[in-house]
Amino acid sequence: MLRIWTKYLAVTSVAAAIALQMGHVNSRPVDANAGARLFSDRGCVGCHNPQSLNRGAEYRALTAMPASDVAEALRAYREGRRDNAVMQNMTRALSDQDIMNLAAYLGQ
Ligand code: HEC
């Protein structure tokens, strides 16, 4: 009887491990390094950078935000819920994955 239970537990834990892995098939892991590359490649750095003249305040606002707030702000611009022509334009081509990566890079 004990042996049967042990075998049952072993089989179910393998099944659970496989199910957990499958949950990740469709979503790539959040990648802060990819976010850093996007931040530079898409030109975000031109405005949100302490070295950019007269733009320091916006950069500081970004680095003081939790990642979830950065992601929500970017989605809100992309979907037009937050009104700012510059940022709506900057976020138009971002995928959900891009937004998660940028948030991981920028967020606290
Ligand atoms: C041409 C300048 C410019 C560029 C380029 C730019 N931004 Fe912005 N960004 C702004 C301005 C201005 C605001 C404030 C807009 C507002 O009042 O909502 C802002 C706001 C934001 C906010 C919200 C900050 C807050 O306090 O809620 C985030 C997040 C952000 N930008 C990220 C980015 C990312 C990521 C990129 C690159 C994809 C980018 N920005 C490119 C000018 C820029």
| DSSP structural state of residue 6 | H
Q: Is the pLDDT of residue 20 over 50?
A: no
Q: What is the pTM of this model?
A: 0.79
If you measure from the C-alpha of residue 31 to the centroid of ligand 1, how many angstroms do you get, rounded to a whole number? 20
CB atoms within 10 A of CB 91: 23
pLDDT for the residue numbered 50: 65
The CATH number that applies at residue 100 is 1.10.760.10
Number of domains the chain contains: 1
87 within some domain: yes
- DSSP per position, 59-98: HHHHHTS-HHHHHHHHHHHHTTSS--HHHHHHHTT--HHH
86 within some domain: yes
**What residues make up the domain containing 72?**
55-108
Q: State which of 90, 91, 106 you would mutate to test the pocket of ligand 1, scoring each by most atoms of that ligand within 8 A of its C-beta.
A: 90
83 within some domain: yes
98 lines ligand 1 (CB under 6 A): no
Sign of CA dihedral 38, 94, 69, 101: negative
pLDDT for the residue numbered 64: 77
Nearest residue (by CA) to ligand 1, atom 17, is: 84
Q: pLDDT per residue over 46-105, tens digit each?
A: 888 766 555 556 666 787 789 999 999 999 999 999 999 999 999 999 999 999 999 999
63 within some domain: yes
95 within some domain: yes
